[in-house]
Structure 1
Amino acid sequence: MPTASAARVNPTPLVEIARHCIFPDDIAFTRYYELIAPELPGMGVTLDRWQQDIWELALGLRDDGSLCCDVMGVTLSIARQAGKTWGIMAGLIAICLARPGTTVVWSSHHDRTSSETLGKIASIVEKPAIRPKMRAQFPVVYTDDSRGVHFANGSRILFGARAAGFGRGFSEVDIQVYDECQNLKEAALTDMLAAMNVSDIGLAFFMGTPPRPVEARQGVDEAFKRRRKRAVELDRRRPFKGVFVEFSADRDAPLDLDSDEFWEHLAKANPSYGYRVGKSAIERLVENMSPEDVMREVMGIWDETQKLEAVIPAALWNDLVDAGPEDGTAPTAMAVDASHDGVLVAAGCWRVESASHLEVLAIDDWSDDDAAADWIAERAGRRIVVFIDSASPAARLIPLLKSRRVKVASGSAGDMSRACGGFFSATTNGSVTHDGHPVVGDALEGATKRKIGDAGGWGWDRRDPETNIAPLVAITLAHYAASLDTKPTRSGRTSEGRRAVVS
């Protein structure tokens, strides 16, 4: 970690050089000047302006004093040799010095990376300016569960590899850093975030380079990819309660080291080039990587296959809009799902020969669960199956519907996998139509997959409370329930099931 002179510092503000710089619009003030700025001179460290800006945003507070990025944390998609680790490391040391008893957990995917990062931070804290502020004996521990750096005031920065199970079992962690975030599964993230301390900081960093195709195929990039999608998507109806920064070159950047254009593009991807990083460091990377890896890890460019595409593209879904059966025709099957906040959605499927038609029938148009059960029972009668996933918040309706003698079916994870597989197949082969309800289109735009089992099965991922996929789940399950019924809809079979009620 160099102690750069002012002449080597990049003075350009973050917003002027990052491809994406997204942050909460309710930042009233920042703790940077309380926790970090006063410590840097004594550490002999000068941050680049863009590194300082990241910390100012990361420690941004609302008017009420709460952390602005308390939900999504700070995500950094920045190429190698750009100084992202250096800048975050310097800030963490400063916070640990300024705030006694701070616990930081820094996890990498590989143990080798974890050891290398520990070695870098050890070289900093052992400098004469900082060493007196470290624990007298064993300030740096290279083995066991205490591997990391330990400060005299009780603060500590612990390091480990997620592949070896590091990060689980901790409690009251103030700051978590997820390095190599392109190798971070959502399940591992969920386990580790549970250790986050409800303190005056509670900060999480997600850092990495664009994922490789193998990481995308294995689904280990899901946490990183989802954060990027939430940040840069055009739909701003849901505020992104976090910070997202991406440095990257243009997609048509040349890879010829002898070309001036290469270095011009590199400057877009690497804010340290020309300041802290010279040509030789970049040439060393490029000469020892494949062209594809250079694009991702040196130029910071996300693969075309990593574009923010829906599981079912909007163009395909929109092509399937159709009027469907005549009004008054009873559905073959129905399904009910609910959002995280309990809003119920009812959907119907009309199956005619080998084709199906799907519609949203109602969304939260009831005063209470009994009213919802009455509405569903009136339309389903005793013959039409109403499918409800047993893991859904809508499962609370199952006993109410059964008491009304409705033919209720509830499913397991295996049923959800089969339902999603069948729904996806029907949309791609054109054997299903729908009424074009906008709530389903919105759900499809933000919907992602979650793995079910070990044979390639998947289900719609409900874990993001800010993405309401209940309408999508409802029509998916209605389609599945109709496939279990061997009797297609007959024109003479009628009810009020088709009448849509949407609040």
Structure 2
Amino acid sequence: MKRGTSARKRQLRGNQDPRIRVSDDYAYTYGGDAAEMAGAYGLTPDPWQQTVLDDWLAYDDDGTYAHDTCGLAVPRQNGKNGTLEVRELYGAAVEGEKILHTAHEVKTARKAFLRLCSFFENESEYPELAEIVKAIRKTNGQEAIELTNGGSIEFSARSKGAARGFTVDVVVCDEAQELTDDQLEALMPTSSAGPLQNSQLILLGTPPGPTTNGDVFPRTRRNALSSEHGGTNWIEWSVDEIGDVSDESRWEETNPALGYRLTRKAVEKELKTMSPDGFARERLGWWASDMANGCFDPSEWDALKVDFTDEEIAEQASWKRAYGVKFSADGKRAAIAIAIWKRGATPHVEVLEHGSTENGIQWAEDWLTPRCGKVSTTVIDGKANALDLYNRLLAGGVVKRALDPAKPETVTAASSMFLNAVTEGSMTHIGQPALDDAVKAAEKREIGKGGGFGFQSGNETDITPLEAACLALWGVRTTKRDPSRKAVVG
């Protein structure tokens, strides 16, 4: 069957101006110098890339970078890595910087290495670059370009310990949406004593998806967008809502390379094959929420709020109960929560106590000692104070089988159970401010290497109420202990 001829479509042209640009005032920039140098080697920046380079290579009067942290979020296939190539060429070849280029996957880091090698190894076309090469290492996992001026570019896939032993001036994190706190903690000391004493962290990526465990990129974005972003540069092409994903004008607004290197046909294919959420995130730069990594949708959480009648409260008196006790990582705060549930009903969680432990944990001991034995289980977690509380409760007469010291696998199971319950709408709460704030500030934190996670605060909010509620929910759903059942001695 012969298809009819379609009407000619208008030419699409990507917007060169970002929707969001956070940049400090600066004295001068070498962005133009970098563009001129790279242009001689066939890397002429687009206008949007020049904007990015100007901010990345901006200096204060004291000769240090105006932005010690730079974040770039732009949809895929628009030229992030081309911008980075200009930055790395200029930094290493002209400024003599030692640069560590990291990526989430080995193949991505390797691809970036081979691309830059094509400039330094091409003696016939780029003799000036070839002349300053001291050595090029091509051993898999140890790729590096070393220059005679002291500059270098080393390449590495990220892991918790992959950056040990490096000393550099600039750390680059490609695929930054996958960057975890553990990985960042391994990377940051590499530039603390950089030879030039002028360090910079560059993050490039896209909005994180629902299965992404990265914490750093979204938090950097949120910090930059706050009123006190000091020294952080953030540039972003995005939409603020999913909206009409088939609207071509929105494609243009969020893809600066559209009509230049990115074709309409490629975007149309993505539109046909992706979900609206996926297309909005990957092609329109949509951040699913302002949460660090989309842990909880505030509207989903708010929808679980209930007001019980007196009759419902009376009926719930016979439900199974469990306490969750969580101490903060620094040991300065704690929360006690309760979860109630019976088979066939919807579990309910509330925060019962929440306070400081600066003056000790006596208040928690006093509250729990007469109550623990009357509920099915009490799950206790926290590197600081948890073991002390556990021992105090045992000494106070609480039976051992009524207490459950949490293990890492308990925390990961409890966290995923709670997140699923919120997403599925299979839990209720009463809208307590401390718990509301904790849920809405929560980020994921990676636990172990098997995809497990817990929660951490994306700002200064105390999230122990959330963590205690997770433990309580897990406890009430998994314990088999019935405190009303008397043991039978045979």
Identify the residue that residue 256 of structure 2 maps to in structure 1.
271
Picking from 118, 130, 134, the partner of 2:113 is 118
Partner amino acid, structure 2, of 1:19: R
Equivalent in the alignment of 2:19: 19
Specify the code of the residue in structure 1 equivalent to 2:214.
A
Q: 1:300 and 2:289 equivalent?
A: no
Q: Does 1:173 align with 2:168?
A: yes
Structure 2 Cα separation of the partners of residues 240 and 318 of structure 1: 36
Normalising by structure 2, we get a TM-score of: 0.69
Q: Give the match for residue 53 of structure 1.
A: 51
For residue 472 of structure 2, what is the amino acid of its counterpart?
A: A
Give SS of 1:436's match: coil
Structural mapping, 1:375-390, within 5 Å: 375-377=366-368, 380=371, 386-389=378-381
Match of 2:105 among 103, 109, 116: 109
The equivalent residue for 2:474 is: 480
User: Which of 91, 95, 107 does residue 95 from structure 1 map onto?
Assistant: 91
1:74 alignment partner in structure 2: 71
Secondary structure of the equivalent of 1:222?
A: coil
Pick one of 434, 441, 466 that aligns with 1:439.
434
Query: Does the 8 Å CA contact 1:381/1:406 hold for their aligned counterparts?
Result: yes
Alignment partners' CA distance in 1, 2:229 and 2:457 = 17
CA distance in 2, matches of 1:381, 1:188: 36
Asked if residue 204 in structure 1 is aligned to residue 201 in structure 2, the reply is: yes
Partner SS for 1:474: helix
Q: 8 Å contact 2:135–2:146 — kept in the other structure?
A: yes
Where 2:214 maps in the other structure, the secondary structure is: helix
SS of 2:405's equivalent? strand
Instruction: Note closer, same or farther for the CA distance 1:293–1:147 as it changes in structure 2 (3 Å cut).
Output: farther
Distance 1:473 1:239, change over 3 A: farther
Q: Which amino acid aligns with 1:348?
A: A
Residue in structure 1 matched with residue 143 of structure 2 by the alignment: 147
SS in 1 for 2:367: helix
Partner of 1:336: 325
What is the RMSD computed on CA atoms of the aligned residues?
Answer: 5.1
Write the distance in 2 (CA, Å) between the matches of 1:289 and 1:422.
33
Out of 363-372 and 391-400, give the one that drifted further: 391-400
Q: Which residue does the alignment assign to 2:5?
A: none
Q: CA deviation at 1:18?
A: 1.6
Tell me how far apart the structure 2 counterparts of residues 119 and 468 of structure 1 sit (CA, whole Å): 46
Once the 2 structures are TM-superposed, how far is the Cα of residue 157 of structure 1 from its aligned partner? 1.0
Would you say how many aligned residue pairs link Structure 1 and Structure 2?
Answer: 447
Identity among equivalent pairs (%): 20
Match of 1:351 in 2: 340
TM-score, normalising length: structure 1: 0.67
| Equivalent runs, 1:396-435 vs 2, <5 Å | 397-405=389-397, 408-420=403-415, 422-423=417-418, 432-435=427-430
Corresponding letter in the other structure for 1:105: H
Q: Which runs of 5+ in 1 are unaligned?
A: 1-9, 255-260, 490-503
SS in 1 for 2:467: helix
Partners of 2:274 and 2:124 in 1: CA distance: 39
Q: CA deviation at 1:117?
A: 3.0
| Residue identity in the other structure for 1:245 | I
On the 8 A contact 1:172/1:196 being kept in 2, the answer is: yes
Contact 2:304 2:425 in 1 (8 A): no
SS of the residue aligned with 1:29?
coil
Task: State how far apart, in whole Å, the 2-side matches of 1:237 and 1:321 are.
Answer: 35
Report SS of the residue matched to 1:462: strand
Please tell me the residue identity of whatever aligns with 2:236: E
**1:315, CA displacement in angstroms?**
3.7
Maintained 8 Å contact 1:61/1:67: yes
* Match among 211, 217, 235 for residue 245 of structure 1: 235
- Given residue 320 of structure 1, which amino acid in structure 2 is its aligned partner? K
CA displacement, residues 133-183 of structure 1 (integer Å, 9 cap, x when unaligned): 6665555544455534322211111235559x995444223323233446x
Paired with 1:48 and 1:107, the residues of 2 have a C-alpha distance of 24
Distance 2:390 2:65 in 1: 40
- Amino acid across the alignment from 2:381: D
Cα shift at 1:300: 2.3
Contact 1:338 1:345 in 2 (8 A): yes
Deviations 1:391-431 (A, max 9, x none): 56755544455454556431112322443455456657777
* Residue segments in structure 2 that go unaligned for 5+ positions in a row: 1-12, 485-490
Q: Compared with structure 1, are the counterparts of its residues 142 and 300 closer, same or farther at alpha carbon in structure 2 (3 Å cutoff)? A: same
Cα distance between partner residues in 2 of 1:287 and 1:381? 60
- Tell me whether 49-58 or 434-443 shows the greater mean CA deviation: 49-58
What is the Cα deviation at residue 473 of structure 1? 0.7
Closer/same/farther in 2, CA of residues 127 and 197 from structure 1, 3 Å limit: same
Q: Label 1:304 to 1:41 Cα distance change in 2 as closer, same or farther (>3 A).
A: closer
